[in-house]
Amino acid sequence: MADATSMEKLVSLAKRRGFVFQSSEVYGGLGSVWDYGPLGVALKRNIKDRWWRSLVQSRDDIEGLDAAILMHPRVWEASGHVSGFTDPMVDCRTCKSRFRADKLADARCPQKPSKVPGQHTACDLTEPRQFNLMFKTFMGPVEESAAVIYLRPETAQGTYVNYQNVLNSSRQKIPFGIAQIGKAFRNEITPGNFIFRTREFEQMEMQFFVRPGTDDEWFERWRAVRMAWHEGLGLTPSKLRWHQHGPDELAHYAKAAFDIEYEFPFGWQEIEGIHNRTDFDLRRHQEYSGKKLEYFEQASGERYLPFVVETAAGADRVTLTVMADAYREEVVEAELRVVMGFTPQVAPVKAAVLPLVKKDGMPELALALYHDLREKMPADYDDGGAIGRRYRRQDEIGTPWCVTIDGETAAQRTVTIRHRDSMEQDRVSLDQVRHWLLERLG
Residue numbers 289-328 binding a second copy by CB under 8 A: 289, 291, 293
Given the DSSP bridges, would you call strands 176-185 and 136-138 parallel, antiparallel or unpaired? unpaired
CA distance 279 to 378: 44
Nearest approach, Cβ of 428 to a second copy (angstroms)?
Answer: 24
Q: Does 378 bind a second copy (CB under 8 A)?
A: yes
- Assess contact for 165 and 49: CB atoms under 8 A: no
Q: Does 42 bind a second copy (CB under 8 A)?
A: yes
Nearest approach, Cβ of 404 to a second copy (angstroms)?
Answer: 18
> Using CB under 8 A, which of the segments 140-148, 230-238, 257-265, 349-357 binds a second copy?
140-148
CA distance 338 to 227: 28
Q: Does 204 bind a second copy (CB under 8 A)?
A: no
Q: Does 425 bind a second copy (CB under 8 A)?
A: no
Q: Please, which of residues 222-261 interact with a second copy by CB under 8 A?
A: none
Nearest approach, Cβ of 331 to a second copy (angstroms)?
Answer: 25
Q: Does 21 bind a second copy (CB under 8 A)?
A: yes
Residue 258 or 342: which CB sits closer to a second copy?
A: 342
Nearest approach, Cβ of 411 to a second copy (angstroms)?
Answer: 28
Binding footprint of a second copy, residue count (CB under 8 A): 81
**Strand, coil or helix: what is 146?**
helix
Nearest approach, Cβ of 345 to a second copy (angstroms)?
Answer: 16
Which of 93, 103, 108, 136 is the binder for a second copy (CB under 8 A)? 136
Q: Does 418 bind a second copy (CB under 8 A)?
A: no
Residue 30 or 428: which CB sits closer to a second copy?
A: 30
CB atoms closer than 10 angstroms to residue 340: 26
Beta-carbon contacts of 227 under 8 Å, excluding residues fewer than 6 positions away, are 240, 242, 260
Residue 72 or 413: which CB sits closer to a second copy?
A: 72
Q: Please, which of residues 170-189 interact with a second copy by CB under 8 A?
A: 170-171, 183, 185, 187, 189
Nearest approach, Cβ of 153 to a second copy (angstroms)?
Answer: 13
Which of 115, 120, 186, 199 is the binder for a second copy (CB under 8 A)? 199
Residue 64 or 341: which CB sits closer to a second copy?
A: 64
The letter for the amino acid at 128 is: P
Residue 167 or 235: which CB sits closer to a second copy?
A: 167
The phi-psi region of residue 32 (left if phi > 0; otherwise alpha if psi is between -120 and 50; otherwise beta) is: left
Q: Please, which of residues 84-123 interact with a second copy by CB under 8 A?
A: 89, 98, 100
Q: In terms of C-beta density within 10 A (0-12 exposed, 13-18 middle, 19 or more buried), how is residue 404 classed?
A: buried
**Strand, coil or helix: what is 355?**
strand
CA distance 81 to 3: 36
Using alpha carbons, select from 434, 415, 417, 414 the residue that is nearest to residue 425: 417
DSSP of 179-197, one letter per residue?
EEEEEEE---SS-BTTTTB
Q: Per-residue b/e over 73-94, b at no fewer than 16 CB within 10 Å?
A: bebbebbebbeebebebbbbee
